[in-house]
Structure 1
């Protein structure tokens, strides 16, 4: 048979996962629900019990034309006539397994990096399994989507198995896929490790850099099915989810550069002959003024009042709520969310994750502002948690914060991002050249499949394909509390009305914010930060009136350079 790896089930016979149910019955329901491959994994049972259970499972899988693979144990696979085996880096070597099972058997190999993937491909693996994607314990409560059997504390402690491999995240999966593209593009590739209903759409989406990149052939799950109250329903829902683009997936210029005709590519170009296409920017800002989008801010208490005033001045409708239970209702209002990690507590982090999940489910744009991400280990851990928890349309921060993002769950684009300890929430002295800044935001955006914005004396923004340097702004922005936070609010309002081009929405928000700052700073009555803040709000309000009327001459002040990276 020709295997279909779309939904690959790895069994778990431990009581905490399986409960008191019969494994063959669980597998039967799962394959009826849509599982396409079954791997029987049992590290604890004696050989005689393994063979007995494997025979029962094979009866089930053969009846549905689904291959049964045995984890590690070639002897068990031979005894029951299974279609193949799966081996890890510390199990029987691929060559020996292939020799014992023959050329037609399915032999899969676990890999954790590109070298292991190349070796497995060269050695004749039938498919490779990339992992671990996420660092989550494999116990039933990790499956968030379906009702789970109750676990005793003793069972949780006994069965919990923390991943000890390097955690790859979607970027690591994509890196291996990209390597295989030029080496062996046809070999099937799946991924495994902490996958469940809540994160599979993002893994499938973010593991591809562009439409030309190879896609995963499938995903492997354990407790998401085995521990589900109804394995058949769980499998059916997962299968449907795999075949449906996530709500947050949007058309991206970075995905389709090669597929665009010359006319369309030119139309979507934001800067031409050294000038911003003012009509495109004004169109975004006019939509904000006309539709008054909801801008949900989860931000620190120090900034809430300022952020709300900025939102009102640009035409948005601010809601300052840090309670995640409101997020599903707010996400349904077609607005956007700003997650400003200014306050890092366990409760705050839990609220951020719940709100992120709610907006991802509805497809609402989300901006991440990782305040002080490079300052403490607590904040670095919080950043890692949030990047693993969901999809962000835009990540914005100062140089130190973007360096922290770059070194979390992925490489920093070949740039030395090991900067000195960040001092508080402010960025320290810059250690990167303009070319390095441009490359860093491009690499982060390509890795995350979103837009990355680095603020500073000059701002750098990219969607992984288009990268710009913005030279507008005023020094007083760096002398007041919350300027960066309120820039996130401004961008989020623009994202709410321009979802088909995240980079354009981000650039529109940056230009309005920075040019308003210039106009405020140029007023004769502005002599310092104290007089600057009300003048800045006035300038934003004035610009709103201009772009509401379609006036674009204020954009003559825009200074945007195209970065060749």
Structure 2
């Protein structure tokens, strides 16, 4: 069986002058990989075998540098000679990626039964790069095939659509093609990237469209599974703590989770068996509190449940602003503010693994190893967007986790893919506990959608921000006091609408590949 593959942005090459022009194919593919292409298929039906082999070797080396699978179309002998990861349509063995093109329900079912790892469904629209199309099936045809795959017990097979897909129609096609029980894993494109004046930029924009279109899949998964969200939150400053826990619990319910606020680590082993996730909101730094966190972390790691770390600061003398987004106030103490707190974070990171690490710029910089002078849970940005992205990528690689750096622009990365989310509203900064509740929201997503933690975290972040924008725009909202119930209502409304396949709110989502 082939290893899991990210099919979201699938590039099929074309070396013909009408598409490639006089450019070097290897340079174009490398640029596309820099822009976020997740899998490459080499297709060349016109060159001699020697040229094909030479080009295939070069492309395979490039793909290996980016840790992206490389497939070859039709030519089994070439694929076997260079040892690439797979080849479309032909079976090379149990450890290779097998892909089959299907333009009808019958072809799709036959390929799935035969053991294909993925299907290229199409042709969706007419295209000049493929003249031998059997039929144009459109998004509705794709949807029919996906529905029948799910109904026949083959819902787990990966699928991409192909044929006339470009930046302008990608999100629409993926949304319209989505069936209640199965959605596309991605899109396969040729000229949209190969013929682009800037292949890297085209790949970035395409991957952003694909990820945005997949956000509803995550939210529907939460609505379907109602995953446990186990929150271990602040114990200092009990009155404020209780307010934040109540707020986090209500947000968890609104997004479709089953929240529990349980700070006693002896419960963690049993709770971890329920298939949910754990949030460690590191507001309390005491020896006993740290042991409590470590015990819970170990329990969830043993059960295979995802854990989110939020190394947020807290001082009971102040009413803290726990949201790390636009225009957030600052208060004393944070993950980077004291040696004790830095040591506690190091202890937690050494004690187990985290699926997501969430923090503001100062906190993530501290994890990166920078010396940061910071007074509170948020501080003025000292880094450019590119520098912030670089720090997030580095921390993600170092800890094998998805890292979220919150701010006016939220940045998320798994160390390979990096995205920015520009949703949110300044009223979030005027309410205690919104940072904690963002952690609760993301915890529900990563529990319900374990196949792609980065997508799940991006989906939760975008949903949270859009709900805030919708709430702030309601006529009855006059300030923070009226904002909170409206915000919870909008989270609920987004979840309910998405579960019913109404994704019109996606037009407000601002996700971009960096």
- Give CA deviations for 1:490-547 in whole Å, capped at 9, x if unaligned: 1110111111111011011111101001101111222222221111111101111111
Match of 1:561 in 2: 512
Post-superposition offset of 1:275: 2.8
| Equivalent position to 2:220, from 261, 286, 295 | 286
Residue 343 of structure 1 and its aligned partner are, at CA, apart by 1.4
C-alpha distance in 1 between matches for 2:221 and 2:451: 14
CA distance in 1, matches of 2:455, 2:304: 18
* 1:249-398 alignment, distance < 5 Å: 257-259=67-69, 261=71, 267=185, 272=206, 274-301=208-235, 302=241, 303-371=244-312, 372-398=334-360
> Would the aligned equivalents of 2:186 and 2:210 in 1 still touch at CA under 8 Å?
no
Q: 1:343 to 1:260 in 2, by over 3 A?
A: farther
Unaligned 5+ residue runs, structure 2?
1-62, 73-119, 121-157, 161-184, 188-203, 236-240, 313-333
Deviations 1:247-298 (A, max 9, x none): xxxxxx9998322559789845896275354442111111111111111000
In the alignment, the residues of structure 1 paired with residue 308 and residue 207 of structure 2 have an alpha-carbon distance, to the nearest angstrom, of 30
CA distance in 2, matches of 1:523, 1:481: 20
Q: Secondary structure at the match of 1:318?
A: strand
Q: Secondary structure at the match of 2:219?
A: helix
| Equivalent residue in structure 2 for 1:431, among 378, 382, 386 | 382
Query: In the aligned structure 2, how far is the partner of 1:278 from the partner of 1:402?
Result: 25
C-alpha deviations, 1:228-259, integer Å up to 9, x for none?
Answer: xxxxxxxxxxxxxxxxxxxxxxxxx9998322
State the aligned residue count: 300
| Residues 460 and 469, structure 1, Cα contact 8 Å, conserved in 2 | yes
Give per-residue Cα distances to partners, 1:184-226, cap 9 Å, x unaligned: xxxxxxxxxxxxxxxxxxxxxxxxxxxxxxxxxxxxxxxxxxx
**d(CA) in 1 for partners of 2:504 and 2:232?**
34
* Greater C-alpha radius of gyration: 1
CA contact (8 A) 2:308 2:358 kept: yes
- 1:561 is paired with a residue whose SS is strand
Alignment of 1:55-454 (within 5 A): 257-259=67-69, 261=71, 267=185, 272=206, 274-301=208-235, 302=241, 303-371=244-312, 372-407=334-369, 417-420=370-373, 422-424=374-376, 426-454=377-405
Structure 1 residue 300 displacement after superposition: 1.5
Residue 395 of structure 1 aligns to a residue whose secondary structure is: strand
Q: Does 1:538 align with 2:489?
A: yes
**1:492 equivalent in alignment to 2:443:** yes
Q: Equivalent residue of 1:473, what SS?
A: coil
Contact 1:254 1:463 in 2 (8 A): no
Q: In structure 2, what is the Cα distance between the partners aligned to 1:261 and 1:479?
A: 51
Which runs of no fewer than 5 residues in structure 1 stay unpaired? Answer: 1-252, 408-416
Deviations 1:313-352 (A, max 9, x none): 0110001001110000000000000000011111111010
Q: Tell me the secondary structure at the aligned position of residue 427 of structure 1.
A: coil
**In 2: Cα distance, 1:355 partner to 1:254 partner:** 38
Deviations 1:440-464 (A, max 9, x none): 1111111111100000111000011
In structure 2, relative to structure 1, the CA distance for the partners of 1:279 and 1:470 (3 Å cut) is closer
Residues 340 and 530 of structure 1: is their aligned pair in 2 closer, same or farther, counting only changes over 3 Å?
A: same
Mapped to 1, the partners of 2:458 and 2:211 lie a distance apart of 11
2:503 equivalent in structure 1 = 552
Q: Distance in 1 between matches of 2:464 and 2:381?
A: 22
Distance in 2 between residues matched to 1:552 and 1:466, nearest whole Å: 24
Scaled by the length of structure 2, what TM-score is found? 0.56
By how many angstroms is 1:375 displaced? 1.9
CA distance in 2 between partners of 1:528 and 1:538 (Å): 16
**Partner deviation per Cα, 1:388-445 (whole Å, 9 max, x = no partner):** 11100100011111112111xxxxxxxxx3332x213x21111000010111111111
> Would the alpha carbon gap of residues 278 and 469 (structure 1) be closer, same or farther in structure 2, given more than 3 Å must change?
closer
**Inter-partner Cα distance in structure 2 for 1:513 and 1:255:** 35
Q: 1:390 to 1:255 in 2, by over 3 A?
A: farther
Please tell me whether the aligned partners of residues 397 and 484 of structure 1 are also in contact (alpha carbons under 8 angstroms): no
Q: Deviations over 1:447-495 (max 9, x none)?
A: 1111000001110000111101111111111221111111111111011
- Residue by residue over 1:60-94, the C-alpha shift from the partner in whole angstroms, topping out at 9 and shown as x without a partner, is xxxxxxxxxxxxxxxxxxxxxxxxxxxxxxxxxxx
Does the Cα contact within 8 Å between 2:425 and 2:468 map onto a contact in 1?
Answer: yes
Q: Is the 8 A contact 1:309 1:537 kept in 2?
A: yes
CA contact (8 A) 2:423 2:509 kept: yes
Change in Cα spacing, 1:437 to 1:351, as seen in structure 2 (3 Å) is same
Give secondary structure in 2 for the equivalent of 1:275.
helix
C-alpha separation in 2, matches of 1:418 and 1:528: 37
With over 3 angstroms needed to count, the CA separation of the structure-2 counterparts of 1:387 and 1:461, relative to structure 1, is same
Q: What TM-score comes out, normalization by structure 1 length?
A: 0.51
